[in-house]
Amino acid sequence: NAMLGDILLNEGKASFSSFLKAIKEKEQKEKHKVEEGPTTQADDLIHFRQLRSNAAQGGDIDLDDGSDLARATGGGAGSDYSSELSHVYQLSGFADPVYAEALVTVHDYDIVLDILVINRTHDTLSQLTVEIATMGDMKIVERPQTYTLGPQDQTTIRASIKVSSTETGHIFGTLVYENAATGEKGYINLNDIHMDIMDYIRPAFCTDEVFRSMWAEFEWENKVAISTTISALVEFLDHIIASTNMRCLTPFDREAKSTFVAANLYARSVFGEDALVNVSVEKKEDGDGKLAGYIRIRSKTQGIALSLGDRITSVQRALPEAK
């Protein structure tokens, strides 16, 4: 009884005091944080990429487009060559008569495909085009045009796809051409392009009251069992936060030695959709010391819940990248 009384009166009080201290420090940081200015001014022009001229679509810089202007001056993500290489997808094989690869540029509400097509034969190919189809909440706005390619010639075909919600999607298609000399038609099935939900998720902040209200309101839930090789609680939580591009709303002591962690994560998509995640993980007190528990995801739409669940399932087994 004396030991239990000491735990309830002294250690419980100390833990609650440290919890209140962490909340107070967090409120002070939020209070002193400089308010960010508006990302777009009221008199800024609205650029429609689908209505640009053919010269600008061919790869030339359009100085009326803000993204092209930032890339020309060396600013913004458009000047990062390594990030562009990570969004290049090989669509056909090197042994195919026509080689194709696509550079995928993800904007907030649409996806632009710049498909490089190379004629590897010694014949002229006519009526060459790429027939694209999508799976998910995506719609093709601008279909690729038809081209004629000479021997060993190449061209770039552009397609535009509209995205209306946050969910994992697939882009697949077929390259169709006709041999101008023999009149024989050829078809090449292209590799799928997998669109990642992380391109649309942004970390956001909300109060605990708003989080609980949305948690009770949202009807779609996805429950993922924790199965990982990571043995540290804080390291696993940081790995999930970084992999899902979310913000942790629950303050906790990173230096405390505990056998469990419960945290709420929150993010918002570019379409204004909310994503709620609750991580409940404990460290087993047996010989192996593995982590166990569940990660629950709630959202108003089914697409976010399923896509985030697939993302967490795929990354939780991997070790976090060394910084």
Say whether pLDDT at 20 is over 90.
no
> With helix as H, strand as E and coil as C, how does the chain read?
CHHHHHHHHHHHHHHHHHHHHHHHHHHHHHHHCCCCCCCCCCCCCCCCHHHCCHHHHCCCCCCCCHHHHHHHCCCCHHHCHHHHHCCEEECCCCCCCEEEEEEEEECCCEEEEEEEEEECCCCCEEEEEEEEEEECCEEEEECCCCEEECCCCEEEEEEEEEECCCCCEEEEEEEEEEECCCCCEEEEECCCEEECHHHCEEECCCCHHHHHHHHHHCCEEEEEECCCCCCCHHHHHHHHHHHHCCEECCCCCCCCCCCEEEEEEEEEECCCCEEEEEEEEEECCCCCCCEEEEEEEEECCHHHHHHHHHHHHHHCCCCCCCC
Q: What is the pLDDT of residues 78-88, one digit of tens each?
A: 445 666 777 88
Average pLDDT of the chain is 80
Average pLDDT over residues 234-238: 88
Structure tokens at 255: 């230096």
Average pLDDT over residues 206-220: 90
Q: What is the pLDDT of residues 281-301, one digit of tens each?
A: 998 877 677 888 999 999 988
Say whether pLDDT at 8 is over 90.
no
Q: What is the pLDDT of residues 132-179, one digit of tens each?
A: 988 877 888 878 888 999 999 999 998 888 887 767 778 889 999 998
Confidence of residue 50 (pLDDT cuts 50, 70, 90): low
